[in-house]
Structures are given as C-alpha cells and as structure tokens.
Amino acid sequence: MKTYIVGNWKMNLTVGESSIYLHKLLKRLKQARGLEVVVAPSLIAIQSLSLQVDRHKIKLAAQNFYHQDYGAYTGEVSISQLRTLVDYAIVGHSERRYIFKETDKDIRAKVAAAIRNGVTPILCIGETASERDFGETKDVLRDQLFGGLSDVSAEDLKKVIIAYEPVWAISSVKGARLASPDDIATSVDLIHKQLKARFGKEVEEQIPVLYGGSVNPSNAGAYLTIPGVNGLLIGGSSLIADHFVDIIDLAKRLRS
C-alpha cells in the first residue's frame, strides 16, 4: 500500500504565494515509488496550480466542495467542476463539522459525489476532548466512519482514504495537546477493526488510514511507524517548505 503525505493549506496563501510555494516544492522533490504527496490549496488557487503542478511528484486536493454536481446553488463549487483539476478531496474535516456544522448526512453525500466524479475522498474522523474524556471515542469513530461511508458501495470502498484526526490534538484548537503514538495506535486499531467487522478483511486491507493532528518533523517518524498508519494529514507544517520536505524525505526513508 502507498504512503500518503497530504498537506492541508487551509485558508492560507494568496494565489501568487501558492504558486511560488508549489514551485519551491517541485524543485526540491523527486518522484518516489509508493509515496503519494498531495497538497490542498485554497479553492481560488486550484486552477492555476493545476497548470503548474507536475502530477508525477505532487497531486492536488480540494479542501471542500458541494455535493450536487450542478444547479442553482449560488456561491458553491461542485466536485464535478473540480474533477479535472484535483485527484483528491478532503471531506468531513473537524473544522467543517464543528465550525460550519456539516452533518453526517452532508458528509456522506460529499463522499459519494467525489467517488461518482472519479476523485478520491479523504474522509476525516475524530473525537473531541470531551468525547474522549467521557469514553466515547469508539462510538464517535464508528458513527462518523459509517455515517460517511453509508452511501458507498462495497466495490467503491477501496477508492476511499480515512484520516484519523482527533480534534483535541489539532494545534489550532484551544487547549490542544499532542497525541502520543499509543493514543493514535489505539484509535487506528479501532478504525481497522470496525472496517473489518463491517466490510471484511479483504476490503479493510485496501483502505488506507492516515493520521493528522499537530504533525511536524519531530514526531512524524513516530507516527508513520505506528501499525496501521499509512500516511499523514498535515496542517501548519505543510505551509513551511523545510518542514514539509523533511516529513516527505522521512517517509521516503521509512519506505526504503
């Protein structure tokens, strides 16, 4: 299975800054077998970056989209409009769930829309600090996981990536704390067991599971060596070229 290093730029960088940064990354990166590097720029930068990117080195992802393919939805952009520009799309990120109040119904519709349009959805799931403290992690992960996948056929499940991103470990969240490898291993194991129980071992083994939450060059190695973790979803460190490249190089070394 591939290792995925995904950089989520969130609402940062202008179109010009995004172009300069991508140019810098492309100069420093070499294609590596079995390693998929993905960046998710702001929506306004995707089109211009799609003309600049070398897809042998870096793939593009959308941070968000609307689940309908077309129609009278003022201000929205559909994944069918983005499908020639991006290969991946982030769905269900905690900021979409908790700031913008996206429901499991919204998220499952987006997952299905991405697959329908030939784009790989990266389905984010994760519990809040209070849910963790009250022992609800297992139930939250199950509900978010199967809530997001309920409109996906058995055949299409292999086209989905899962990202475990505990809300309490995201650096931009007030009171965030660093997740230990043991914390992550326990939750990732739960995800794999839930996938296996619902869909069978053969399907479960084809679904990559990533980790995201305050990832940086200092802890990326420990996270990448956790059993069942197939890559990283990176926020702040993906905006710093040296940090992002260091993490990518580390992933390459671990695969060799």
Percent of the chain with pLDDT over 70: 98
36, 67, 93, 243: which is the annotated catalytic residue?
A: 93
- Reported as a single tens digit per residue, the pLDDT across 199-211 is 999 999 999 999 9
Mean pLDDT, rounded, for 110-124: 98
Residue 174: what pLDDT?
A: 64
- 255 pLDDT exceeds 90? no
What's the start-to-end Cα distance of the chain, in Å?
13
Q: Tell me, yes or no, if 165 is annotated catalytic.
A: yes
Query: How many angstroms separate the Cα of 241 from the Cα of each of 7, 20, 87, 110, 147?
Result: 11, 11, 22, 30, 35
pLDDT of residue 77: 98
What superfamily would CATH give domain 3-255?
Aldolase class I (3.20.20.70)
93 is catalytic: yes
Tens digit of each residue's pLDDT (9 = 90 or more) over 126-171: 999 899 999 999 999 999 999 999 999 988 999 999 999 998 777 6
Q: Where are the domains of the chain?
A: 3-255
Confidence check: pLDDT of 235 > 90 = yes
- pLDDT (mean) for 83-93: 97
The answer to whether the beta carbons of residues 121 and 162 sit under 8 Å apart is no
Of the listed 165, 192, 204, 243, which one is catalytic? Answer: 165
Mean pLDDT value across the chain = 94
pLDDT at 173 (0 to 100): 59
